[in-house]
Structure formats: structure tokens, C-alpha cells
Structure 1
């Protein structure tokens, strides 16, 4: 008799019919799949999963929760494919590299993670830091810190004298050890293979390399090629062995060409892409992650006397005045685009400004939204979990007032944010 009682009690507890559901009644729905918004739709959420989508405004039983979004436009949780959650640029950034401890960085990163989530970005790809980003990912996964779902590269990899070589511009004895594969500085196939293995060992989800110089370092050239095609292939092949994809920071046309031929999954920035690069990207299916807001931000900062050292200010102006135009050409050429901003170069939480810049360059608002949803999920490799509002996907759902297809600036003001079925913002 007692056994039957416990069995019935167990059925009561786990019965789907009796589990609490959340009904999101959506005035407009951009689901990340269709090319037009739907109207008058209800999304049904159980736990952290979307379990149904129905036409009309549906309610459940007395145990269920109804959220009225009938005057909102509802979308999948947004995805930023290029952020740096450990830092935020300022005129003191170079000095902070010698002052801040990992603990200092961690406290800041927790703030930046929350700020990013509250901007409507429920998933991000963190493309390089000190390694604190891996700990941050774990803390978010455990619910210890509020933030987006994080896929991180740990430490990014470049050649000696490249964008990730923090000793560039300093005298040889300024650092207590020579930068090597363990630090993300590697030359030749063997060292690059070793560096990839270090990142995998530490828990990286993706590998990030730099095939050209960068803006915010003290090297003279931001666009020169810094790896051979064979070296890049060594990175890609090793990463593939571990089930990892490769993102490649690249500004100059030759470095971009070599990266695409080497098999990288995405080109980050792509400032000086040319017609040959566009054709190669289309041929190989390589994504461009444009980061227009970062280019514009550093160009604006470069106009402030003393904000950057002269060498960085010069490179910032070179990149910042070109990057949006190049993106527009790449999109019109048919290159695949995934949304990414380089958050941390500019102030965290302003990620959605990128939508405005993408539309200014000629991308229709629906395509811009898809770049931050379905395309971004495809790039990261999580299309079976995120990027669209479909039955069985994670309950990552955001909403804005107004219609972003009519005014893309509405993306900069979230009215509702749900991640993993938990509501973080509801106006």
C-alpha cells in the first residue's frame, strides 16, 4: 500500500501536465527562421525549454504563468560572436595590464557579463583574455554569476611580435619571461600545435588566432600578414581533432586570404578585405564577423589628445574609417555575416548599437537580426540549441517595444529578457 502511495506521489511530481508552464503572449514574433514577423503568437516554456508555439493568445491552467508581451516584438535571445568580457578599453588600458591581478579582472568581468546579458545578449563568444574568461564561463554555468552563456577562446594565439604578444613595444627585459606557446605566442607548426593543445587543456571552447597585426597593441602595422597558410592549417587541423572551431582576427587582405585558405571558420573584423577575399569567403563558406562599433569607437577615441599612444591612434584612424564600408561591400557580395562587436574595446552593454551600423551600411533589419540569431548560432555550432524560437530550443527570448524592422534603434532598449527559462528583465 505504501509503495503505491509513493508511486502516485512521484507521478504527480513529474507529470508534464501538472508542471508549471510559462505562456509568453507575443504581439509580434521574429522567430529567426521566417523572413517576416508573425503576429498574435504564444510561446510556451517549461523549465529552460520552448515546448510549444501556438497562434493566438493562449493561457494554461491556474498553476501556469502568463507574461503579457502583446505590445512588444519578441525575438530569440541575441548572440554576440566577438566579445572580451575581462576588460573595457580606456586611456589607462596599457597601465592596467601591469597593475590588475586576476582577482581584479574577475570582479570586473562579472560586472561586464551582467551588463551584456541585460542588453539582451543571452549567448556570447569570448575571443581572448587572460584565462579568467574560462572561470567566468564556469561561474555563469553554475548560476554563481548572472551573465550570458559563454563560449570562450581562453587565450588567443599570434606570432612573435603579433597582436597577442604583450611584449611588443617594450624593451626586451621588461617581462620576467619570454612569451611562448603557453602564453599564446607561437611560431611554426610545432609551436602552434602545442599552443592549441594548451588552450584545449585549459578548457577553451574555440580557438582564436591572429593572422595580421592589430590596432590596440604597440606594433607599427595592423594589416601585415603574420602566419603562413601552412601554419594556419596546423592550427585548424589540431583544433578540429579536439572538436573546436577557429576564429581569426585579421585586418589586412593578405592575412585574410591566408586564413580562409587555411580553413578558419570566421574572419574577425576583416577591415581591408578585397574582392579576392570576398570570393574566397563565399567559396569556403567562411563567416565575417564585422565589429563595426569597435572600429568606430577606437577612431573616436583616437581624436582625443593623449587617449592612445601615437602608434595606436594612427592605426585606430586607419581601421575605424574603413571597417563599416568594407562590411557593406562584403554583405552585398554575398559573404556570410555573423553578428559580433568586439565588446570591451568599447563599453560593455552597448552591443546592440552594431545593428544600427549594419543597417546604415545596407543590410536590411531582418538580416541584421538573423546575423545575431540564426547565423551566429550556426557559426558557434549551437543551432540545435539556440538562435531561433522553435520547439525544443533553449528558452532564450528577448523583446523590445516597437518594431525593429521599422526602426532598428529599438534593439538598443530591451523590455524583456529571458535566458534558460529565467526572466531577468520584464518591464
Structure 2
């Protein structure tokens, strides 16, 4: 098997060690050596560049590309799958080689990438978000119409459930449909029409049975949780990650630390709502008000969580914002207290640990050779996306 040598570069390995000059050798789809003075059959000159692990976005929506409510109403049903293929390519182009789709993508999307039918990041799927009636995932509108963002189909069950029996059955349906993770909404949200992100949703028993069923299937639970009460309910029940975490108080932060729960901040998401409205998207006044409401509280909560030592994994809610702009999140994480190196570790090793992908996330022997070559200084995270020069997935340049 031929050895591919990445030489003359600096390696940011994602383990916590500072960047340092080193060579990386790849055989097949695996890293086999990292060090100085290595050799190979073919060489990639990395002079002036840093070699990073493939980046991981823990919260995306591949089936949409920016907020466009009217477009979703009028687009042909199958167009979303073609859009996903384009979104996957945009994601790969900025160095993100793995994503967790937090709702929308079904088993076919995951399989299309795995089988090489489309180029894109490796995909974990939640398929549909579980929501109570009147919750973040309920598509009912005041007109009486039902206007879902993700129309149910045979591979994407509807997600509105009430009570423990309905919740248990729906988790089993999602597992049957191929879900890698179960997503629930334990609070209201921003882009949904008839709920409030400050209100907790689902009762303790409902969340407990969801976690029980997911655990029995060997998969974790992620929670859309903006409201303080919704965050606490999720963490106490054993949910693995809190998505957004907009209204954290000290008790919620302490619970997250004690239970080793992850926070996936998605700081760019409410900004995306505001920008979409400014660009002319048909965003309701109520939704826009909620976006403005949460932005300041969101940053303060993430800052509090970072100071307390809550585990942070990189995630963006991209789809709410346009694909290919994912790395804008890095600068916001730095503003909230992470160093640039910590923000990059949140997008590599930490995100890999959250997703349970132990063979990704670092540049070490034995790991899958997902690698990104970047020009210039890694500390300038606000310009990182435009300095990506090559992306390798499993040792193959993509």
C-alpha cells in the first residue's frame, strides 16, 4: 500500500498540544505516523500551511439552505434532496468532513454520502425532532394550516408526540428509520410560530422515557433547549447534549458540569434569522422579535458555561444560515471566552467525542485520515474558511 506523506507543514493535532512542525503519513484511509523526518511514496508539500483534523459540525440541517418560508411552500418536494447534495459540497469545501444533521436528512442522505454517490461530510442523522403539541416542532399555524419545514414521508416520520406512550413509540419509529441520535425539543424556539423560547416543554416522564428508549437502542439524545427549565429537565433525564442553551442559569450550568452534558452553542443561528429578514425573506414579525430577544442572552449563557467548564462542542444550526458559512461560529466562540485553539478543538476532538466517533477528531496514528490544509495563522479564526486549501477524507483529496 502506497504511503502518502504530508511534509514541511505545521500540525495542529487536536489533542491539546500546541501546533508544531511535523510530517504526517497516511496509508489507505488511516494515519500511520506523525513526526519529523518521515518518508512516503508520494508527497504533499505543506510549506506555509497547517494540517488540521477534519472539522466536525455537530448541528446542521442539510435539507434547507437559509430561511426561505415561502420557498419551502412552493418548491417541489424532491428538490430538498438535490439541495442537500449542494449543501454537503459547500460544507466539505470549508474543511468540515463530518456533520450531525439535527433534523431533515433521512437515511437516504446518509447512504448517498457513504456509498460515494455524492461528495460531502460523513453524516449522522436525527431524521425528525420530537416536539409536544404547540412546541418547537409543531407545524400548526394560527390560520389553521399545517406548514412543516420538513414534510413527513416514509423515511421521515412526523415528530409531534404527547405523553409517554406516544413518545416511546416515536423513538422506536425513528430508530427503525435509521436515526443515529434522537432529537427532542424541551423548550420553544425562535423560528417556530406559536411557542416561546423561554418556556420549557415536555414533562419529566416524557423526556425520561425518550432517553430510556434511545439508550436501549444504543444511541444518545440531543435536546433543542433554549429555556432554563427545558435545559434542566433534559440534563436531569440524561440527555447527552444541550443544543443552543440560550437561557442558562447557575443551577443549569452546575447540572451540566455534574452530569458531563455537552453544550452545542449555535451562536450564529439567531443572527441568521435577523440577516434573512434584512435580505427580504418572509420572516414573521413574531419570529424576528424572538431572534432579537435571544441574541444577548445567548452569548451571556455560553460565556457562563465556558467559565464553569461545561464541555463545548462546535455546532452551528447551519441551514438556518447558509451552508458554507459554518466557520463564522468560531469567532463567536472566541468572543465568549474560548481561545482560538480551544474553539478549534471544539470543532475537532470535542465534537468527535460528542458524536462518539473515536476514530476521528485528531491527527494521530490509527485515526481516519480526514485532514484539512490551511494557509496562515490558526489564531485568526474569523478568516479560516477562506484559507482552506485542501480537504482530505479517508486519505483522498475531495
TM-score range, shorter chain: over 0.9
CA offset digits 1:201-225 (Å, max 9, x no partner): 1111111110001111111412211
Is the aligned partner of 1:233 residue 2:208? Answer: yes
Is the CA contact (8 Å cut-off) linking 1:86 and 1:133 kept in structure 2? no
Is the aligned partner of 1:78 residue 2:55? Answer: yes
What is the Cα deviation at residue 411 of structure 1?
Answer: 2.0
Q: Can you give the 5+ residue segments of structure 1 that lack an aligned partner in the other structure?
A: 1-18
Aligned length: 393
Is the aligned partner of 1:163 residue 2:136? Answer: yes
Is the aligned partner of 1:34 residue 2:21? Answer: no
In the aligned structure 1, how far is the partner of 2:212 from the partner of 2:140? 28
Please show how residues 15-414 of structure 1 align to structure 2 within 5 Å: 19-39=1-21, 41-56=22-37, 58-60=38-40, 64-90=41-67, 93-129=68-104, 132-171=105-144, 182-302=157-277, 307-383=282-358, 385-405=359-379, 407-413=380-386, 414=388
Q: Can you give the 5+ residue segments of structure 2 that lack an aligned partner in the other structure?
A: none
* Structure of higher CA gyration radius: 1
* TM-score normalised over the length of structure 2: 0.94
What is the Cα deviation at residue 295 of structure 1?
Answer: 2.0
- RMSD between aligned residues: 2.0
What is the Cα deviation at residue 305 of structure 1?
Answer: 6.9
* TM-score normalised over the length of structure 1: 0.88
Greater CA deviation, 319-328 or 394-403?
Answer: 319-328
Q: For residues 101 and 335 of structure 1, do their structure 2 counterparts lie closer, same or farther at Cα, with a shift above 3 Å needed? A: same
Is the CA contact (8 Å cut-off) linking 1:85 and 1:133 kept in structure 2? no
In the aligned structure 1, how far is the partner of 2:206 from the partner of 2:182? 14
In the aligned structure 2, how far is the partner of 1:184 from the partner of 1:421? 38
The DSSP-based 3-state class of the residue aligned with 2:47 is: strand
Match of 2:396 in 1: 422
In the aligned structure 2, how far is the partner of 1:197 from the partner of 1:102? 26
